[in-house]
Structure 1
C-alpha cells in the first residue's frame, strides 16, 4: 500500500470548526490542544487520569472544561485519545462515547485494531510524528500527521482536522506506522540518549557541553542531505583498533556505556562491510 501524501504544495484552505474532546493531558495533549484551538476548533473538554493535569490544560483552552469522569463526556465531533499506549484500551473501554462517534488515538505503535472492542465507534488514528517536551514550541505546519480510519467518512473528518494544522498529512496503515514509529525511535530517542552520555562524559572531564554543539549540528545537517550510512566517519568505520582500545579504556568505569559503544561499533563495521541487511552503497 502506497503512502498517500496530502500535503505537498496545496494552498491554505478554510476549514469548518470541529468540536474536540481530549482524553489525556500529557505532553502531546498540551501541545495539540492549543494548536487545535488556534486553528479555530473548539476543544470542549479535557479529561485526564490526573485531575490537576486536566484542569491545567483546560485553563489554556478557551472553550474547554475539565472533565472529571469518563461517564460524563460532552458531545463532540472527534474524541482524541492522547494517552500512553497501554492506557488506551482501558480508557476506550470505560469512556461513555455515543455510538457512531469518531474516536482516534495519537499513538505511533498502537494498531487501528485496538478499536475492535468497541465496534459501535468509528475508530481512527491521528499520529503526529514529532517529539513533544515542556517549554518547546512546535512548528505544526511542518509536523507530519499520519492518519488511519476504519471508514471513509471518519478518514475525511481526520483529514479536515489534520489539514487545518499541518501541510504534511498522510494516510499510513498500522503496519507501516509501526515501522515509522520504530524508525522515529532510532532517529530521536536513541540519539538523545547518546547525546546524554556524551554530555556526562564531558562533565566528568571538566569540559563544557558547548564544545560538541558545532559537531552535533554538522552531523544532523549532513544526515539530512545524504544517506547517513554513506556519511559515516569515525574510528569504527576506519577499523582503527588502537583508538577503539583507548576509548574502551576511557569507558571502563561505565560498563553499560562500554557495552553500548561496543555494540554500535560492531553495527557500524557490519554495515560498512556489507552485512546481509545493509549492503554497502553502490
Structure 2
C-alpha cells in the first residue's frame, strides 16, 4: 500500500515509544523529534533510530511535524497537553486505551486531537509483529482521522475506528486477558519455586490452555475443581494456601466466579481415567 511519509514527533520514550519509533522509521516515516521526561531515555531512543532525531530540551521547543504522538502514561497526558507548545492546528494523538478523546476538548481551538491506540503489550527485548497489532483510531475531525488511518495502515493490516466508550471496554477486556493472567502466572511460578519444582513443568499446560481458549469460547473450555464442584479438592487447595492469605482469598474469589459462571448444576464426577484439571 502506497502512502506519503509523515514527520512524527514522539512525546515519551518508554516501552511504547521504544517499539513504535523504530517501526515508524522502518515503515518510511521520519521521526524528526523526541521529548522525554527523562533526557537519558530520550537520548537512548534517539540513538537507536536510523536517522538523526532532535531531542527537544523542553515542551516549548518541539520541532514541526505532521503528527505528534503522546506515548505517555494516561495520568501524564493532561499535564503535557497543558504545558506543551504545539504549532497551531497540529495533530496530536495519544496512544492510551482508557483515556477518552475528550482530553483534547480544552484545546480544540489550538490543535486537532486523536487516538492512536496499539492493542498490544510492550516489554524490553521483545519483538513485536506490527503487521498483526490492532491499531484503534479516533479523532476530533475527519481530516485528522484520514492522517491517522494513513499512519496506521503503514504499520498494521488491522486498523479500526473505535469511539472512546468502546475503546474503554476493549481496554478493560485487554486487562482481563493480559494483565490478570500474568499476575496469576506469577503466583503459579512462586508456588512451584516454594515447592522446589521447576517453572517449566507448567509450560505445556499454559500453552494448551491458551490454545483451547483461542479455539473455542473460553468459558466453554473451563475445567478444574471449581467447575466440577469438587469440594474436597478445593478445601485441600485452600489449606495449601493458608500461609498465603492474599492468594487464598483470590483463589476463593475466582472459584466463586467460576461456579457462578458455570451454573448451579455439578459437572460429571471424574471417573478416575486420568488427570483432569
TM-score range, shorter chain: over 0.9
Q: Alignment partner for residue 75 of structure 1, among 64, 74, 82?
A: 64
TM-score when scaled to structure 2?
A: 0.94
**Which secondary structure does the structure 2 equivalent of 1:246 belong to?**
helix
Question: For 1:234-249, what aligned pairs fall within 5 Å after superposition?
Answer: 234-249=224-239
SS at match of 1:236: coil
2 CA distance for matches of 1:16 and 1:60? 23
Give, in whole Å, the separation in 2 of the partners of 1:115 and 1:238: 50
Question: Aligned to 2:186, which of 196, 209, 213?
Answer: 196
The equivalent residue for 1:184 is 174
Cα displacement (A) at 1:63: 3.2
- Larger RCO (CA under 8 A, 6+ residues apart): 1
CA shift at 1:14, angstroms? 1.5
2:29 corresponds to which of 37, 41, 45: 41
* 1:224 paired residue number: 214
Counterpart among 117, 121, 142 of residue 131 in structure 1: 121
Q: Distance in 1 between matches of 2:249 and 2:31?
A: 47
Q: Distance in 2 between matches of 1:200 and 1:68?
A: 43
How far apart are the structure 1 equivalents of 2:56 and 2:229? 59
1:68 positional shift: 1.2
Q: How many matched pairs?
A: 262
- Corresponding residue number in structure 2 for 1:278: none
Q: 2:136 aligns with which of 146, 168, 183?
A: 146
Q: Return the alpha-carbon distance in structure 1 between the equivalents of residues 257 and 52 of structure 2.
A: 52
1:161 corresponding residue in structure 2: 151
Residue matched to 1:10: none
Distance 2:252 2:194 in 1: 21
Secondary structure of 1:176 counterpart: helix
Q: Radius of gyration: which is bigger?
A: 2
- Alpha-carbon distance in 1 for matches of 2:28, 2:224: 50
Cα distance per residue 1:173-226 (max 9 Å; x no partner)? 000000000000000000000000000000000000000000000000000010
Deviates more, 1:62-71 or 1:224-233: 62-71
Structure 1 stretches of 4+ with a deviation exceeding 2 A read none
Task: Report what 1:100 is aligned to.
Answer: 89
Equivalents in 1 of 2:193, 2:44: separation in Å?
A: 36
Q: Secondary structure at the match of 2:32?
A: strand
Which of 9, 16, 22 is residue 10 of structure 2 equivalent to? Answer: 22
Aligned CA RMSD, in angstroms, stands at 0.7
The partner residue of 1:91 within 80, 93, 115 is 80
User: Who is 2:251 aligned against?
Assistant: 261
Say which SS state the counterpart of residue 229 (structure 1) adopts: helix
Partners of 1:222 and 1:67 in 2: CA distance: 48
**Structure 2 unaligned residues grouped into runs of 5+:** 265-277
- 1:236-269 superposed Cα distances (whole Å, 9 cap, x missing partner): 0001000000000110010000000000000000
Distance in 2 (CA, whole Å) between partners of 1:126 and 1:59 is 24
* Contact preservation (8 Å) 1:42, 1:63: no
SS at match of 1:235: coil
Q: Which runs of 5+ in 1 are unaligned?
A: 1-12, 275-282
SS of residue paired to 1:123: strand
- Secondary structure, counterpart of 1:136 in structure 2: coil
Distance in 2, matches of 1:255 and 1:63, equals 53
* Distance apart, 1:60 and its partner CA: 1.2
Deviation at 1:99, TM superposition (A): 1.4
Equivalent residue, structure 1, for 2:200: 210
